[in-house]
Amino acid sequence: MMLAGVKVIEMGQNLAGPYGSQILADLGADVIKVERPTGDDARGWGNKVTDNATTMFMTMNRNKRSVTVDMKSEEGRTHMRVLLSNADIFLHNMRPGSLEKLGLDPVAVRAKWPRLIYCDIGAFGHMGPLKDQPGYEPLMQAYGGLISINGHPDGPVARVAVSLIDIGTGMWAAIGALAALHQRHETGEGCTVNTSLYETALAWGNFHMAEYQTTGDVPARQASGHSAVVPYQAFEGADGPFMILAGNDRLFVKLAHALGKPEWTEDARYKTNADRVAHRDEMLAAVQATVSNAPRATWVEKLRAAGVPSAPIQTIPEVLKTDQTDALEIMQNVPDTNLNLVGMPISFNGERPAMRMAPPTLGSANDDVFSTDQEG
């Protein structure tokens, strides 16, 4: 396994921190999840799978070991020091300021263990007037502008249902940790890696910021479409919605012929993407009128045969039954449960990292980890 021999201490809760360390665990690192005696809050989020783990916890904590540490006690603080003294990476997403009170801030920790890579996942970031404020996914989608550009223009505001900021921030933390690990291999020195939910929200909105600064127009909600590409959205077939994504002029020519409308390629309103954006309403109405008289499966098959990206809008049950999902062998059984969950979306030489261990029961590794408590 890629990260065999790397020891990671996670003091994570909810999503961002646990997801970041789960990436490292999937790659083979020994991840010890440090939990308060009552456990990670995410153990109570979603429907129960086991006595002390829910669906949310199951998706963020595989391939780890769990220990419980009471940081209010001297024994707990000793346990934590021992864990860090032998670690390669320390990753946390605790409330801003909470670890400073315990002497576990990056300056103090790295002064004592300079080879340690310290990954600090914050809410609003490690600088600025809001650096000490806590935050959750919906708050960051709101403050970072993402809610303002999500959903149908005629509907109420809505958050993106997936916690893409939490998960994205966990990914940035893992990427930063791996880069720092490479640097330490070259220099012998660790470093502090900072990332945050707000910085991730800003990164995801980057294109829309560029558009606003270029045009002066406040980005509008596009439903399933895109402000810069047409046609590039959902349309209603006779029995349900499906996507048509003519992402360039070459694909539009293929689309026009597949839909039986070759004359569109000579229409001055539609010849280039810029033309189609300028005549968005006419273009979208023309496509919709054409596809409304046949089932979506008919159109998807015809468009795929022509090389035009197209797919039905599937429900979660449909996704789980799709041949492509099966072919990827990405769904992995969680040991000792009836759940089949998405494994790591990366393969190495054709092999996907395995779900070696189910998410741990609370404190199940206490005896193993603390049996030889001795600072390195």
Question: Which CATH number covers residue 277?
Answer: 3.30.1540.10
The string of DSSP codes covering 297-315 is HHHHHHHHHHT--EEE---
161 and 309 share one domain: no
For residue 307, is it left (φ>0), alpha (ψ between -120 and 50) or beta?
left
pLDDT digits (tens, 9 = 90+) for 247-297: 999 999 999 999 999 999 999 999 999 999 999 999 999 999 999 999 999
- Residue written as token pair 């993106």: 160
Residue 262 covered by a domain: yes
List 342's β-bridge partners, or say none: 331
103 and 192 share one domain: yes
Q: What is the CATH number of the domain that holds 113?
A: 3.40.50.10540
162 and 244 share one domain: no
Number of H helices, E strands in the chain: 15, 13
Q: Which of 314, 340, 361 is the last residue of a domain?
A: 314
Closest CA to 259 of 279, 235, 227: 235
Position 371 pLDDT exceeds 90? no
The string of DSSP codes covering 172-233 is HHHHHHHHHHHHHHHHS---EEEEEHHHHHHHHTHHHHHHHHHH-PPPPP-TTS-SS-SSEE
Structural domains counted in the chain: 2
Residue 54 covered by a domain: yes
Average pLDDT, the chain: 95
122 and 268 share one domain: no
List 11's β-bridge partners, or say none: 92
Cβ atoms of 273 and 194 closer than 8 Å: no
| Mean pLDDT for the stretch of residues 177-191 | 97
255 and 126 share one domain: no
Give whole-number Cα distances, 129 to 2, 124, 143, 206, 291, in Å.
40, 9, 14, 22, 52
Position 373 pLDDT exceeds 90? no
Residue 284 covered by a domain: yes
Cα–Cα distance for residue pair 247/233, rounded to 1 Å = 10
89 and 154 share one domain: yes
Res. 1 pLDDT band, cuts 50 70 90:
confident
Position 214 pLDDT exceeds 90? yes
Residue 282 covered by a domain: yes
Residue 112 covered by a domain: yes
Q: What are phi and psi of 333, to 5 degrees?
A: -75, 135
Instruction: Indicate if 166 belongs to the active site.
Output: yes
Residue 26 covered by a domain: yes
Between vectors from CA 335 to CA 334 and to CA 338, what angle results, nearest 5°?
60
Which carries the bigger pLDDT value, residue 182 or residue 376?
A: 182
Position 376 pLDDT exceeds 90? no
34 and 82 share one domain: yes
Instruction: Select which of 132, 166, 217, 275 is catalytic.
Output: 166
Residue 2 covered by a domain: no
Position 375 pLDDT exceeds 70? no
Position 229 pLDDT exceeds 80? yes
198 and 248 share one domain: no
173 and 78 share one domain: yes
Cβ atoms of 69 and 11 closer than 8 Å: no
Position 246 pLDDT exceeds 60? yes
Pairing of strands 331-333, 340-342: antiparallel
Domain around 243: 232-314
108 and 49 share one domain: yes
pLDDT digits (tens, 9 = 90+) for 22-53: 999 999 999 999 999 999 999 999 999 988 89
User: How is residue 97 written in tokens?
Assistant: 């300021």
199 and 85 share one domain: yes
Alpha helices in the chain (DSSP H): 16-26, 55-58, 74-85, 106-112, 137-143, 164-187, 197-204, 206-215, 249-258, 273-278, 280-291, 296-306, 316-321, 323-328, 366-370
Q: Which of 314, 342, 360 is the last residue of a domain?
A: 314
110 and 174 share one domain: yes
Cα dihedral angle (291, 293, 294, 295), rounded to 10 degrees?
A: 90
Residue 22 covered by a domain: yes
pLDDT digits (tens, 9 = 90+) for 45-96: 999 998 889 999 999 999 999 999 999 999 999 999 999 999 999 999 999 8
pLDDT recorded at residue 374:
59
